Amino acid sequence: METERYSKELDVAVRLVQMACSLCQRVQNELVGRKRDEIKSKDDDSPVTVADWGVQATVSWVLSQYFSSDNVSIVAEEDIETLSKKDNSSLLESVVNSVNACLAEAPTFGLEGPAKALGIQEVLEAISRCNSNGGPKGKFWVLDPVDGTLGFVRGDQYAVALALIEDGEVILGVLGCPNYPMKKAWLNYHQRYYRLMSNLSSPVYGSWHKGCVMYARKGSGEAWMQPLVHDYGNFDWQNRAQKIQVSSINDPALATFCEPVEKTNSSHSFTAGLAHSVGVKKQPLRVYSMVKYAAIARGDAEIFMKFPRAGYKEKIWDHAAGVVIIQEAGGVVTDAGGRPLDFSRGSLETP
């Protein structure tokens, strides 16, 4: 990393997201087609898995170790209400086991792990520590442990998103996309065959099946992508990371636009009509989660349009990491009125 401000924060964040992706991959491989009892529903009916709580606990614990728990403020999606219920003891045990398995790998990713395995209370405390409301002043981290949980439980696309905000501005963002291939050509293959080949192919550097991690720091004018790795300590990512840029296509007739897979929080018909009105002719790229931001940032698509249905509220953790990456890759992100997204209101309001 460059010896500039926030270089330590970005370095730790990239390594931490790499490690969190490893946890997610293990849980997804166990979850898809099996262990359906490990999927719980929150009040908004979105499923939550061991990975959500596991990643949140892991990120919280590591950030607190590196930047002091007294100085670390984290806005994150999950709480411990469901996890703490007596009838969910087996689920809690699975979360604790996943967290400890992940933290045991910390040295592999160039991070320090705990001297001994964390206990149940320590894991719950780490999850609960992510209770900041953010706001217009001060510095805080924003985490979406598994963005696109429906994609996750279906063996499809999802993302781990971590960002740092200071005085309402996104300073850095890291986006881990475990199922988003390094090579664009593989996007045309059906997910089923993609997963099959992932299990059969040898893990050679740069292989399409490895997934990727993207990251950027505000004002640097650069955004980067590196492959998802499993032996971080022996992997010279500084020499193998690739600089990414948004597409140079400016003709709507040649452009591809992204939109959410689910119709529950976005109007496909409205975006289709808007796309047609500006001359977009290609079929939309529908993917779960902030992977849409990743697609735009590296030029796989040109436009991301999302118009929520009435009553749906956006959360800052659904956008923070992706926004800064696209901006530093040369793109523009605004609301429907052409204004920059507002991250100064923390978790209480939409951006």
Q: Pick out the residues of the known binding site for Mg(2+).
A: 77, 144, 147, 318
Tokens 């262990």 found at: 35
**CA pseudo-torsion sign 133, 42, 29, 223:** negative
Per the residue annotation, which of 49, 52, 108, 256 is the catalytic one?
52
Using CA atoms, how far residue 346 sits from 53, 94, 202, 312, in Å, is 21, 31, 43, 17
Using CA atoms, how far residue 142 sits from 47, 59, 252, 311, 337, in Å, is 20, 11, 33, 23, 24
Question: How far out from the chain centre does Cα 332 lie?
Answer: 19
Annotated binding site: 77, 144, 147, 318
Beta partners for 269? none
Beta strand pairing call for 139-147 and 74-76: parallel
- What torsion, rounded to 10 degrees, do the Cα atoms 63, 69, 75, 76 define? 60
Vertex 184: Cα angle to 179 and 189 (nearest 5): 65
For this structure, is 52 an active site residue?
A: yes
Q: Residue type at 236?
A: D
- Which residues fall within 8 angstroms of residue 339, CB to CB, at 6 or more apart? none
For this structure, is 3 an active site residue?
A: no
Per the residue annotation, which of 49, 58, 149, 256 is the catalytic one?
149
- What torsion, rounded to 10 degrees, do the Cα atoms 116, 132, 351, 315 define? 50
| Residue 344 token pair | 């100064």
Catalytically active residues are 52, 149
